[in-house]
Structure 1
Amino acid sequence: MSFRLSQRSRARLQGVHPDLIVVVEAAIRRTEVDFMVTEGLRDPVRQAALVRAGASRTLNSRHLTGHAVDVAALVEGRVRWDWPLYGRIAEAFKASARELRIPLTWGGEWSRLRDGPHFELDRKVYP
């Protein structure tokens, strides 16, 4: 099954690094679980609000530079937060990134504060 990004998801990719956009576009064609982009580039005010709300732990997010995106799994058109869905989406992101030779980090593999919806370009290659 092949999915497509909605206009809303495409709009949320504005300001995101072109290499990450290419990975997102490849991942949506490859994934077994549909997803939408919930957030790409953030401004410092939004980031500070997320830290205050406990949804983020850093004021130095990769979202501030357009090097990160968050996604939400879609099942029958509804957003779902079931952890296994994000592992399946991550498989599509990681396979696409490997194929494109674009180093990518998945927040679901972090040892502290695992973040399944979060994907970012590797800091070592994209400072």
Structure 2
Amino acid sequence: MTFHLSQRSRERLKGVHPDLVAVVEAAIGRTSVDFMVTEGLRTSARQAELVRAGASRTLNSRHLTGHAVDVAAWVDGQVRWDWPLYPRIAEAFKAAAAAAGTPLIWGGDWPRLRDGPHFELDRKAYP
């Protein structure tokens, strides 16, 4: 089954680096688990709000520069946060990034505070 980005997801990609947008667009065509984009570019105020709420631990997020997106698995018409869904989504993101030659970091690969919904352009290639 091939999935497609919703208009809402496309709206949430506004301000995101074009290379990351291209990876998201390619990943939706490769994934075995449908997903939606929940956040892309964030304001400093939004980032501070997330830190205060404990949903983020940094004020220096890649979301502030449009170098990161968060996604949510979309299964049977609802958002699902079950961890096993996110490595499947990440597989599609990683394959899409590799095909495009775009260095990508998945939050689920972080040794601490794994963040399955988070994908960002590698700082080494995209400072």
Q: TM-score range by the shorter chain?
A: over 0.9
Q: Distance in 2 between matches of 1:63 and 1:24?
A: 15
In the other structure, the counterpart of 1:13 is 13
In the other structure, the counterpart of 2:116 is 116
Give the aligned residue type for 2:21.
Answer: I
Instruction: Tell me the secondary structure at the aligned position of residue 70 of structure 1.
Output: strand
Give the aligned residue type for 2:46.
Answer: R
In the other structure, the counterpart of 2:22 is 22
Give the aligned residue type for 1:106.
Answer: W
- Structure 1: which 5+ residue stretches go unaligned? none
Q: Distance in 1 between matches of 2:43 and 2:50?
A: 11
> Superposed, which structure 2 residues align to 1:44-123 within 5 Å?
44-123=44-123
Q: Distance in 2 between matches of 1:34 and 1:49?
A: 28
Q: Distance in 1 between matches of 2:111 and 2:61?
A: 17
Deviations 1:55-79 (A, max 9, x none): 0000000000000000000101100
Instruction: Tell me the secondary structure at the aligned position of residue 102 of structure 2.
Output: coil
Structure 1 stretches of at least 4 aligned residues deviating more than 6 Å after TM superposition: none
Q: Distance in 1 between matches of 2:112 and 2:83?
A: 16
Task: Check if 1:125 corresponds to 2:121.
Answer: no
In the other structure, the counterpart of 2:37 is 37
Give the aligned residue type for 1:46.
Answer: R
Q: Distance in 2 between matches of 1:77 and 1:123?
A: 34
Give the aligned residue type for 2:44.
Answer: P
Deviations 1:79-127 (A, max 9, x none): 0000010000000000000011000000000011100000000000000
Give the aligned residue type for 1:86.
Answer: Y
Provide the aligned C-alpha RMSD in A: 0.3
Q: Distance in 2 between matches of 1:9 and 1:27?
A: 13
